[in-house]
Amino acid sequence: MSEGADDGHLLVCQEVTVAYAGLRALSAVSLTLDRAEIIGLIGPNGAGKTTLVNAMSGFAPITHGSIQLGGAEISKLSPERRAHRGLARTFQHGRLFGDLSARENVELGAIAVGCSAREARRRTHALLEEIGLLDLAASPASELSHGDQQRVSVARAVVAEPAVLLLDEPAAGLPAEGLGELASLVEHARSARGAGVVVIDHNVEFVLGLSDRVVVLDHGEVLTEGTPAHVRSHAGVAAAYFGTVGSVGTDGTDGTDEAGTRTVPVP
Amino acid sequence: MTVVGYLVNAISLGALYALIAVSVGLVFGVLRQINLAQGEVITFGAYSLWLMRSLPTWLAIVLCFAVCIAASLLLQVAVFRPLRGASALTTLVATFGVSYGLEALWLIIFGPSGNTVSMLTSLNNTVVGGAVALRWITLVEIGAAVVLLGGLLLLLFRTSLGMRMRAVAEDLRAARLVGVRIGQVVTWAFVLSGASAAVVAVLATVQTPLVTPTFGLNLIIFALVGVVLGGLDHLGRATAGGFIVGFVNSLLGSILPEQELVFVTSLTFLFVVVVLVVRPAGLLAPRGADVERV
């Protein structure tokens, strides 16, 4: 597990640029994450949120800049080596292993990063109990409801007890009552192990309620960052959302966001 | 021979092909690439048994396992690793080339006439004589297949290695992001594939002691057909497909009149073609399943 960097920052993204076929999905984005800090990453469709998470986790190669975890450069490391350094993530659409049971999916998250089978079983049992999925533990992941898949996906990342937890749309498809369980899972990761958390979600209220600090991306650049209150009162944030409705999201800028119009809570 | 005898022999050959299908399916499962050179691993194992004929039988068998596993790992390092990221067709052609080259090598080293492995010959004695004509090797093949396939099931569903292998087989990229060490899993797949090839080499040389340069090729072609017949994307179905082809092949050989035995292979392939026309994704694949293309 990675320890905090000397300057106190757990994760440092410095001028991270990601380009696909000459098109910039991210332009010199800088971001820091401290231990036990939750950062919300918001922005309209195509803003580059998922691209940034992909860059951090090694899913998307960066074309410029650097990413440091615990003071060590990780931008050239493979995704699995980043995971072993303490970086865990979830995916926009769960991306569970459908043939594996819910229990196996969560256990794998721990085993993959070197946890013993016994310890992985113990952690998995505790987590499934916490999110109320013990009864469905033996069910193949493909047979779970979308909401349950999302919760298993988050549990699979949390079970690794990562230093950094990257959550890509964890609340998608969750009913209102499921949001509380999700928030407690994230809190569990933060308080138990001091994990730093980056969370992206289209449910902006959920993100603002959960985060200590919020970074707003627009067109692959940082529009503003600050406390949730600061973001709520920032005129440019609403403009970014409303100004892009219907025109952004299908342009493939970040390649992974869901298309369609969205609303943002009026600051 | 009685109907029981035919059936037991058919089950025995089916079991042997099922083991070969497993050795191909393990690698395909994690890499989505077909190893056409797997037959040469079997041939190498068979020749190693002949080369070590003066050693105690148990030692020769242990060394045969070592040879097959080493050969399998060598294929991984020399062919599959450099071609990582290449299309499945590229690897298919590359392993075909390796297979062809190795066959020529066997021909140069060991000659075309074949070498007889006289190991465990007592297994060819009959358990039950007369009309049933059941040999020990038939029972050993069935027993070995049951034990090994059962062991493989335990490995896949009861160990953390098996869990990682199943995850990689389903979604390699997601497995990497979760932290699964893909290289380690792939190496284990080749080790297990080599061990399966060694079992086949030992059993096949008892049943057919004459080892020729095409010894493994003759086996792998039928097993591969079985793998495609069962469904390439699922280890269990691929194994069952291997079993079915072996079973049908043996049964046809038993029931056809002697002057028509020459048609056994043609009729087996005809059976496969008909099955694939009706069920392109494989006989045992769920209806509507995608056709795995390589």
Residues making up chain B, counted from first to last? 294
Residue A246, pLDDT score = 36
- Distance between CA atoms of residues A204 and A217, nearest Å: 13
Inter-residue contact B200 to B211 (CB < 8 Å)? no
Give the per-residue pLDDT at B46: 97
Query: Which of B159, B167, B179 is opposite residue A113, by nearest beta carbon?
Result: B179
Closest chain B residue to A95, measured at CA: B174
Q: Supply the ipTM of this predicted assembly.
A: 0.78
Low-confidence winner among A2-11, A146-155, A226-235, B177-186 (lowest mean pLDDT): A2-11
What fold characterizes domain A9-244?
Rossmann fold (3.40.50)
**Is B229 contained in some domain?**
no
Q: Which chain B residues contact residue A78 at CB under 8 A? A: 176
Residue bearing the bigger pLDDT, B213 or B275: B213
The answer to whether residue B134 sits within a structural domain is: yes
Contact assignment for B181 to A98 by CB distance below 8 Å: no
Name the E strands within chain A.
Answer: 9-20, 23-34, 38-42, 64-69, 72-73, 87-89, 164-168, 196-200, 213-218, 221-226
| Test mutation, B168, B178, B186, chain A, max A CBs within 10 A | B178
For residue A101, report the phi and psi dihedrals to the nearest 5 degrees.
-70, 170
DSSP per-residue codes, B26-74: HHHHHHS---TTHHHHHHHHHHHHHHTTTS-HHHHHHHHHHHHHHHHHH
Residues constituting chain A: 267
A interface toward B at CB cutoff 8 Å? 57-59, 78-80, 83-84, 88-89, 91, 95, 97-100, 104, 107-109, 111-113, 117, 120, 156, 160
Residue in chain B nearest A165 by alpha carbon:
B178
B118 within domain boundaries: yes
Higher pLDDT, B29 or B156: B156
Decide if pLDDT at A105 tops 90. yes
Does residue A133 contact residue A148 with C-beta atoms inside 8 Å? yes
**Position A261 pLDDT exceeds 50:** no
Residue B38 has pLDDT above 70, yes or no: yes
Residue B234, pLDDT above cutoff 90 = no
* Best of A59, A101, A111 to mutate (most B CBs within 10 Å, chain B): A111
**Per-residue confidence (pLDDT) for residue A51, from 0 to 100:** 94
Distance of CA A56 to the CA centre of its chain: 10
Q: Which residues from B are below 8 Å from A98, CB to CB?
A: 170
Q: Is the pLDDT of residue A159 over 50?
A: yes
Distance from the A160 Cα atom to the nearest Cα atom in chain B, whole angstroms? 9
Task: Provide the residue ranges of all domains of chain A, joining segments of one domain with +.
Answer: 9-244
Give the distance from residue B163's alpha carbon to the nearest chain A alpha carbon, in angstroms.
7
Chain B residues bordering chain A (beta-carbon distance below 8 Å): 159-160, 163-164, 166-167, 170-171, 173-182
Phi, psi of A9 (to 5 degrees): -85, 135
Taking the CA of residue B260 and the nearest CA in chain A, the distance in Å comes to: 45
Residue B88: the pLDDT is 85
Residue B251 domain flag: no
d(CA B200, CA B68): 10
Read off the pLDDT of each residue in B136-152 and give the average, rounded to a whole number: 90
Mean pLDDT of B192-199: 95
Kindly tell me if the per-residue pLDDT of B264 is higher than 70. Answer: yes
- A interface test, pick of B165, B171, B177 with most A CB neighbours within 10 Å: B177
pLDDT attached to residue A259: 33
What confidence tier does A248 reach under pLDDT thresholds 50, 70, 90? Answer: very low
Mean pLDDT on A161-166: 94
Query: DSSP 3-state assignment of B40?
Result: helix
Mean pLDDT of A166-186: 85
Mean pLDDT of chain B, nearest integer: 87
- Residues A259, A64: Cα–Cα separation, whole Å: 27
| Mean pLDDT of all residues in B32-49 | 94
Q: Does residue B261 lie in a domain region?
A: no
Lowest mean per-residue pLDDT among A246-255, B1-10, B221-230: A246-255
pLDDT confidence tier of residue B30, bands split at 50, 70 and 90: confident
| B46 within 8 A of B205, measured Cβ to Cβ | yes
Nearest-neighbour CA in chain B from A12: distance (Å) = 19
Least confident of A125-134, A198-207, B257-266: B257-266
Which residues have a Cβ under 8 Å from the Cβ of A69 and sit 6 or more positions away?
A2, A10, A11, A82, A85, A86, A87, A163, A164
Q: Is the pLDDT of residue B206 over 70?
A: yes
pLDDT at residue A266 greater than cutoff 70? no
Residue B263 lies in a domain: no
pLDDT at B103: 94
User: What's at B66, amino acid-wise?
Assistant: A
CA distance B212 to B210: 6
Closest CA to A83 of A187, A157, A193, A6: A157
Q: Is residue B75 part of a domain?
A: yes
Query: Does B130 have pLDDT greater than 80?
Result: no
- CA B283 – CA B157 distance, rounded (Å): 24
Pairing of strands A213-218, A196-200: unpaired
Min Cα distance B125 → chain A (Å) is 44
What is the share, in percent, of chain A residues with pLDDT greater than 70? Answer: 87
Given a cut of 50, whether residue B245 has pLDDT beyond it is yes
Residue B117 lies in a domain: yes
Q: Would the pLDDT of B294 be above 60?
A: no
Check B178 against A108: CB less than 8 A apart: yes
Give the Cα separation of A8 and B241 in Å (integer): 58
A86 burial (CB, 10 Å; 0-12 / 13-18 / 19+) is buried
Report the pLDDT averaged over residues B232-251: 82
Q: What is the mean pLDDT of chain A?
A: 84
pTM of the model as a whole: 0.82
Q: Are A57 and A79 in contact (CB under 8 A)?
A: yes
Q: At what angle do helices B3-31 and B215-230 cross, to 10 degrees?
A: 80
At A4, is the pLDDT very low, low, confident or very high (cuts 50, 70, 90)?
very low
DSSP state of A240: H
Overall number of domains in chain B: 1
Residue B177 has pLDDT above 60, yes or no: yes
Write out chain B residues lying below 8 Å of A152, CB-based: none
- Other residues' Cβ atoms within 10 Å of the Cβ of residue B90: 12
Looking at residues B18-37, what average pLDDT do you find? Answer: 88
Confidence of residue B288 (pLDDT cuts 50, 70, 90): low
pLDDT at residue B131, rounded to an integer: 66
| Domain range enclosing B107 | 3-216
Rg (Cα) of chain B, in Å, rounded? 19
Alpha carbon distance A129, A25 (integer Å): 39
Specify the pLDDT at position B244.
87
